[in-house]
Amino acid sequence: MVRPNLKVVSLAILFSCIVTEVNGEVSASTPQMGWNSWNAFKTNFNQSTIKTTVDLLESTGLRDVGYNYVILDEGWQDLERDSEGRQQPNTTKFPDGIAALAQYVHQSDMKIGIYSDAGIYDCAFYPGSWGYEELDAAIYATWGIDYLKYDNCGGFEANTQSPQVRFSAMRDALKNSGRDIFYSICEWGHQFPWYWADQIGQSYRMSGDITTIFSDTGKDCACKTAYCLNTGYAGCSVLTIIRKMREIAEFQHTGSFADMDMLEIGNANMTLNQERTHMSFWAALKSPLIIGADLSTLSNSSLSVLTNKEIIAISQDPLGKSAVFLPNVSVEKTLQVWAGPLSENRTVLLVLNESNDTMTRNIPLGQITGLRGDLAYSGRDVWSSKNLASIVGNLSLVIDADETKVLILK
């Protein structure tokens, strides 16, 4: 075959998650990228936290490789609505208000996101937006909000109204707000949103919350597959969420993406191989890339993982197709092989060593979706930043424990 041009794809694809506006509605051409306060700070953040994060996104180069949303998760609100029924910020935490903070974010060429809930209150009993959708969407637009993460707590309504009804109400309110606001649904995968959420939001959570644990200890979230009826339970390890995506990956498409939750890179005592595996799968499976770490304590090693331009290019590839699990060449609990198409007639291949020891494996190219065993391919080892010699028939790999080889073949 013709030897590929292995240069990283265009800067326009690399350095920005593409969001367009179609008929008054935001559409996500590629998975969104940004930072969210929850993983590192829970509800314990304030105006200073956000401004410091904005400055660090810029100074570390994270903004320039595409992380352009700064999202205030649960905890920005006051416990009561104002006299006119509107959500309002906690003035101790945000003395200058949200509009002024939005201006600060916009001045740094980034976008600001905020959090609410499809119930009468959210998970920490701050006011939710059920019954106030139009009012809340209007105030978000007035403040200059660009992104809404919309959660699934709220008591009575969460048990009596379908998520389709509750989440659609806010979708319609955002459309009527007069501002283009990206809509990120956080339904936890309870009612299999990969079947319906693309008609409502630009991304949708497919699982309960992630935790800092890399591999399944037997004590993390109860549900290990996409169709388990306890799928919304929190505390899911990185590998458990990857396991759930076996059934969901085929639903990924441009316009709306399954969200594997915020990245724990920089938050946990993961090894470099584990952090790279985490980043590799979130990118190749087309999850949003939302950093969850405290950037003021981020190590250079973690920063290098988050800013790898070739991995980000896989995430932001314009084809928008996820890699899928290949059971015929995988070994349960030992070796995972995933592959998927990229633009320019390329294929991305992920090979994960799930064991505790280094292994050598020969991967037959003829068993990889989109490839043939009788053709010669040239390729790129992404994490090693090395071009590969011509490959025919089998791909021979030496893979360390918890390492994922990411290869681009053409």
* Whole-angstrom distance, CA of residue 48 vs CA of residue 165: 37
Active site residues: 151, 209
Query: Would you say 202 and 182 are in contact if contact means Cβ atoms under 8 Å apart?
Result: yes
> CB-hemisphere CA count at 13 Å for 259?
34
* Whole-angstrom distance, CA of residue 294 vs CA of residue 40: 6
Which H or E element spans position 287?
none
Distances (CA, A) of 346 to 166, 223, 279, 321: 40, 34, 20, 12
Query: Would you say 172 and 164 are in contact if contact means Cβ atoms under 8 Å apart?
Result: no
| Bridge partners (DSSP) listed for residue 407 | 349, 381
* Whole-angstrom distance, CA of residue 308 vs CA of residue 326: 25
Distances (CA, A) of 63 to 59, 156, 290, 329: 8, 40, 12, 38
